[in-house]
Structure 1
């Protein structure tokens, strides 16, 4: 299995970020071909504040499937949408699971 981990920096306007993520970005992600599982959640901010606001995990059968998905029209549209709400930036990690 292969995960694409997307870590969103803390936005200036959290309410606007959440509305766009929920109403626009999640539906785009759910249309990605070859996607096996999609989970996301807000980062708890405590004394170990990471600077991240939200983390998403997209799971695929393989790194090749993830790359194919991101290269698809749906993948390109999803990535292009980041400019509409993630203005403070994102970090993307590609992680091949140890159980693969």
Structure 2
């Protein structure tokens, strides 16, 4: 299993960001072919206290790298990427990870 990870830094306007993320971006992501699971985590702090560097983390799970690549190259994947760059381009860091252990 592989996952596409998106880490978002704190937006200037959290309400506007949350509204767009929940009502526009998430529905686009959920249409990506081959998506097994979408997990979104609101970062609430850092272990030593204070505000964390990141605001939100999203993990999109796919069966394998080919399924992820196919999803990203699909019309739904391209629509999701276009939307992401439009509302959160400067805030997001994207990574691909290979799941090595699951509970």
**When the two structures are superposed, what TM-score results if normalisation uses the length of structure 2?**
0.88
State whether residues 44 and 52 of structure 2, in contact with CA within 8 Å, keep that contact through their aligned partners in structure 1: no
Distance in 1 (alpha carbons) for counterparts of 2:89 and 2:45: 20
Q: Please give the TM-score of this superposition, normalised by the length of structure 1.
A: 0.90
Q: For 2:83, which of 67, 81, 84 is the aligned residue?
A: 81
Question: Distance in 1 between the 2:19 and 2:25 partners?
Answer: 9
Task: Give runs of aligned pairs for residues 1-100 of structure 1, distance below 5 A.
Answer: 1-46=1-46, 47=49, 49-99=51-101
| 1:52-77, Cα deviation, whole Å (9 max, x unpaired) | 11100100000111011001000000
Of the structure 1 ranges 42-51 and 5-14, higher mean CA displacement relative to structure 2 is found in 42-51
Equivalent pairs, count: 100
Runs of 4+ in 1 over 4 A off after TM superposition: none
Unaligned segments of structure 2, at least 5 residues: none
Q: Which runs of 5+ in 1 are unaligned?
A: none
